[in-house]
Amino acid sequence: MDGMKIAIQGSTGSFHHLAALRWFGESIEIVPCETFLGVFQALADLEADHAICAVENSLYGSINEVYDLLLAFKYPIVGELPEHIHQQLIGLPGADVSQISRVYSHPVALNQCREFLAEHLPAAEKIEYHDTAEAVALIKQLDNPTYAAIAGHAAAAHHGMQILQENIEDERTNFTRFLILDPSASEVAGANKASLILRTSHAPGALYRALGVFANLGINLTKLHSRPIRGQVWKYQFFIDIEADQRQLDTALSELSDLGCEVTILGHYKAAEEIEVD
């Protein structure tokens, strides 16, 4: 995969960057994007070969913007990667935690550290920024010892900044699930997990009957997430992850069609190995 261009939300040292290195290896070129939309647009503009994108966090929950973009662009999901996220409070060398007046980070990272911030930095202003690693670059540029950022070890090392407090996330079980997108994807060998979008009729029991298809086939649902259908007030579609091989998936799709459901396949891929808390 030498020289492959990978679009990520964020920059060098971000958690997206680390996830990309873990999945694709060291010999890649990252295409840093300020927003999630930018990641998908980089694929559309042929500026990147693949993309890796966070879709949910075990503390923060689903990232709704990404689910909407998956529907809009429909780039196939070819894999998933859970990453154990450890957040660090980072500042200028020699900075004093007790003197921190501002904390910059991505809103998801700030959310993951709410308890620490409330207990140790209740008076500090919490400022949302588009990327954890870029927040570290910003406070380095501002050169104010009372400013700090929340990011990972790699961001601190890349920018030559000091970790003022380690592992400040609220829970040890802080995992982010990343999806790997490949616009030119072919069938994934050994696929045993599928991501779908399900639309049912707007009638009593419609969702119940649709979910019954999976239950009757012995298919396990690992996620069920509703999102509004644009242009249809108070009507919803459902993003579903299921554990299913090709035969089970084909049977489920046929039975859902018989019920009048509309199903979009976002990807059929190999499930990640079960994660362990270190």
Catalytically annotated residue among 15, 40, 176, 214: 176
pLDDT tens per residue, range 18-56: 999 999 999 999 999 999 999 999 999 999 999 999 999
**Known active-site residue 178:** yes
Task: At 121, give phi and psi (nearest 5°).
Answer: -135, 55
What are the chain's domains? 4-84+174-181 (3.40.190.10), 88-165 (3.40.190.10), 193-269 (3.30.70.260)
pLDDT tens per residue, range 155-210: 999 999 999 999 999 998 999 999 999 999 888 999 999 999 999 998 899 999 99
Catalytically annotated residue among 116, 178, 238, 239: 178
* pLDDT greater than 60 at residue 141: yes
> What is the pTM assigned to this prediction?
0.91
Both structure tokens of 136? 């570290």
* pLDDT greater than 80 at residue 277: no
Spatial separation of the C-alpha atoms in residues 30 and 86, rounded to whole Å: 22
* pLDDT greater than 90 at residue 273: no
pLDDT at 1: 56
Task: At 235, give phi and psi (nearest 5°).
Answer: -115, 145
| β-bridge partners, 226 | 238
**Known active-site residue 173:** no
